[in-house]
Amino acid sequence: MRITPYPEYIKPNMETINHTGIKKRIEWLRREIERHNYLYYVLDAPVISDEAYDALMHELMDLETRFPQYITPDSPTQRVGARPSERFAQVTHSIPMLSLDDAFSPAEVREFANRIKKAAGILAGDITFTAEPKMDGLAVEIIYENGMLAQASTRGDGYTGEDVTANIKTIKAVPLRLNIPGKLIIPKRLEARGEVFMHKKAFLAYNAERVRNNEPAFANPRNAAAGSLRQLDPRITAQRPLDIFFYGTGLIQPFPEVHTQWEILQYLKSMGLKINPLTQRVKTIEEAIEYHNALAQKRKDLPYEIDGVVIKVDALRLQELLGAKARSPRWAIAYKFAAEMAVTRIKDIQLSVGRTGAVTPVAVMEPVRVGGVLVNRATLHNEEEIARKDIRIGDWVYVRRAGDVIPEVVEPIRERRTGEERIFSMPETCPICHTRLIKRPGEAVWRCPKPDCQPRLIRSITHFASKGAMDIDGLGPRIVTQLVEAGLIRDMADLYEIKKEDLLSLEGFAEKSAQNLVNALKNSKKTTFARLLYGLGIRHVGEGMAQLLAANFHEIDALRQADAAVLMRIKGIGQEVAEAVSNWFKEPDNLLLIKRLMDHGITLESSPAADRPTASSADPVHGKRFLFTGSLTGMTREEAKRMVEARGGLVVNQISRQVDYLVTGEKPGSKLEKAKAMGIAVMKENEFLKLFQ
Ligand code: IVH
């Protein structure tokens, strides 16, 4: 920081000054503090020392304490101080905050430019674009009324966000009052949009502090920024070092003399709103591609995280002409950087047995940091995938996080092989119970068919006890494992035979905790049909499907008797689900399990409306039907399906009006055109992954 003497700062003797003088002094202090905030936080060019700044702030706080009648909402002292609220109020954006289509290659970016030319009827010549760093933070809208900060909200679903005014006010780079140059008209309303983010350095320091306080660390600066902004207590947000770059506007009244995106940015900047100085105006799409490549080189050295470049048509008239699709404008695209990769070694390939018996190979790796997260395990999906990628135990490999979420082994580095590497082969029997594994027709996954194979049993009983199912308070994976290992339970029905004395013989149980679990088990007996059905873990029966079945059959016996054809007559039930359900009820072991559960006094109320399992109604996955087309790059179809089902959604194989989302991978097939014609929402793989973040 440049420290210069500060000539204007001559503190008057406040004891001898009258009220007009005090008011004037307060106003001067405010202007002065905001000016230094701007120089420091926006321009990054401070002209006074921290001590001089603190002195100004202290003087203002002192005067405001003594003369509270002069406190105004835009005073810099008001950035912190609002009381915590219960929860955020909802704010509807006057113009929806759209999202952006992604591109991953120059070819896709050129296609974007060609589409624009075609739509705009431009036969020759170039189009001017802006190329802006795509900040990896969270989008906000800040409304200034007559130059004063009036409201700030998050993007939310694009239509409605949360009111985070108090929190936004704590960000020093956000002016509480616009500094409008004389030649500009003060807008009655200005909706400024930008990205709130946390600097990499601040993130590391903040995480270190969290770890010291025994709080969980945030995975990346974006999560830390989002978590901080969504703090109910703005005093906590104020302690978190957040920053902002503005990149656009919503409504502006009256609309200023600007005709391009570039001019919008300059307009925002002239009023004291911080814009990213790396933004450039480019004359051709090729220049935009070059900008992307150059920025990718610089990325590591930037003090904040970016995940690509946003390319926008510069001329506002052309933007208007091109318009928008349902969720994204046609005049802009996010040209993403390739996912960050890291290199590590595969120490072992282990097998994990899931709730459905799926035996999945998992790479166990030397821990490595990828995109801010420590990674040491990654699913390898199945043996075919391992053979296709030629991954061996002992290999040095590239790992990345697919869609920046799920860790994935990309490929081995063959040049680093020493000859010591071992080829993985799938065992013929279950690694736990040694039962011969089976493979269903058309599937790549091997499964252990034994329902009471230990890890399978533990996972299915844990699922049975989970919140959306029987909601047995306190019965998580650790205690289920203990119960199974002690031989106290071999299936779900055994849970209801557990006595307090049994628990007392186990490590970690005392009188009170044992009694609590016994009570929780007793309480769980009064449940609903849908919860029980979901808890049984029938394939394809997530929470949404369980509700649909319960609403149509009301009681378990009626469902047991329904064959696949009957089930398929219900809207929303396809062949796969119908067969899975009717086959499940044909298994004598399953029928016995139901009988024993009922004998233990499980009672089912049928109240379909009240039967919404916790925290799922607002879930965009819950109860929704997903269809996939094209090849997924970051996961297998099987994995995507498991993710959907785990959240109570359903994956279907055929297109119909009942499909809620079509998820497109690379080279999508004809389903895409059909979905568009049917008006079905289409999302790309990375958007799909975002639903699971
Ligand atoms: S423009 C209609 N510009 O990316 C245009 N967005 O995927 C919509 N983002 O929600 C946004 N940097 O959170 C725009 N320079 C930039 C951006 C940017 C980051 C984020 C923003 C938005 C998301 C869209």
What pLDDT, in 10s, does the model give residues 167-184?
A: 999 999 999 999 999 888
Cis peptide before 254 (omega within 30 of 0): yes
What letter represents residue 515's amino acid? Q
Q: What are the structure tokens assigned to 473, written together?
A: 């308070």
Helices (H) and strands (E) in the chain, counts: 24, 26
Residue 658: predicted pLDDT? 79
> How far are the Cα atoms of 312, 364, 564, 660, 667 from residue 656, in angstroms, in the given order?
35, 41, 19, 9, 20
Whether 492 and 499 have beta carbons less than 8 Å apart is answered as no
Whether 371 and 339 have beta carbons less than 8 Å apart is answered as yes
What does the pLDDT average to over 554-561?
89
Q: Active-site positions?
A: 134
Whether 448 and 355 have beta carbons less than 8 Å apart is answered as no
Domains and CATH numbers, the chain: 19-71 (1.10.287.610), 132-284+301-327 (3.30.470.30), 341-423 (2.40.50.140), 451-522 (1.10.150.20), 625-690 (3.40.50.10190)
Q: What are the structure tokens assigned to 693, written together?
A: 């973040």
Atom of ligand 1 nearest to the CA of 279: 15
pLDDT tops 70 at residue 449 = yes
% of the chain residues with pLDDT over 70: 93
Q: Please state whether the predicted TM-score (pTM) of the whole model is above 0.85.
A: no
Query: Which segments of 230-305 does DSSP mark as H helices, in order?
Result: 234-239, 261-270, 285-298
The candidate with the shortest Cα–Cα distance to 344, out of 375, 311, 322, is: 375
Q: Please tell me whether residue 243 adopts helix, strand or coil conformation.
A: strand
Q: What are the structure tokens assigned to 589, written together?
A: 């072991």
What letter represents residue 313's amino acid? V
pLDDT band (50, 70, 90) for residue 1: very low
Q: How many whole angstroms separate alpha carbon 580 and alpha carbon 467?
A: 23
Residue 16: predicted pLDDT? 66
Q: How many whole angstroms separate alpha carbon 419 and alpha carbon 47?
A: 62
Whether 95 and 324 have beta carbons less than 8 Å apart is answered as no
What letter represents residue 558's amino acid? A
pLDDT tops 70 at residue 80 = no
H/E element holding 120?
Answer: helix 106-120
Least confident segment among 113-122, 367-376, 454-463: 367-376
| Ligand 1 atom 21, closest CA | 139
Distance 500 CA to ligand 1 centre (A): 57
pLDDT tops 60 at residue 616 = no
Q: How far is CA 162 from the centre of its chain?
A: 16
179 CB burial (10 A radius; 0-12, 13-18, 19+): middle
> How far are the Cα atoms of 338, 557, 634, 658 from residue 542, in angstroms, in the given order?
34, 20, 23, 17
Residues with CB under 6 A from ligand 1: 98-100, 132, 134-135, 139, 155, 195, 247-248, 310, 329, 332, 334
Q: How many whole angstroms separate alpha carbon 283 and alpha carbon 299?
A: 23
Distance 333 CA to ligand 1 centre (A): 9
What letter represents residue 129's amino acid? F
Q: What are the structure tokens assigned to 518, written together?
A: 């016994």
What pLDDT, in 10s, does the model give residues 332-377?
A: 999 999 877 899 999 999 999 988 889 999 999 999 988 767 889 9
Q: What are the structure tokens assigned to 275, written together?
A: 């814009």
The shares of helix, strand and coil residues in the chain, as percent rounded to the nearest 5, are 40, 20, 40
Residue in 138, 247, 292 to alter for ligand 1 test, most ligand atoms within 8 A of Cβ: 247
| Ligand 1 atom 13, closest CA | 139
Atom of ligand 1 nearest to the CA of 324: 2
What pLDDT, in 10s, does the model give residues 639-663?
A: 788 788 777 778 888 888 778 899 9
Query: Which segments of 394-499 does DSSP mark as H helices, in order?
Result: 454-465, 477-485
The CB density around residue 355, as the number of other CB atoms within 10 Å, is: 19
DSSP 4-64: ---TT-----GGG--HHHHHHHHHHHHHHHHHHHIIIIISS---S-HHHHHHHHHHHHHHH
Q: How many whole angstroms separate alpha carbon 224 and alpha carbon 67?
A: 38
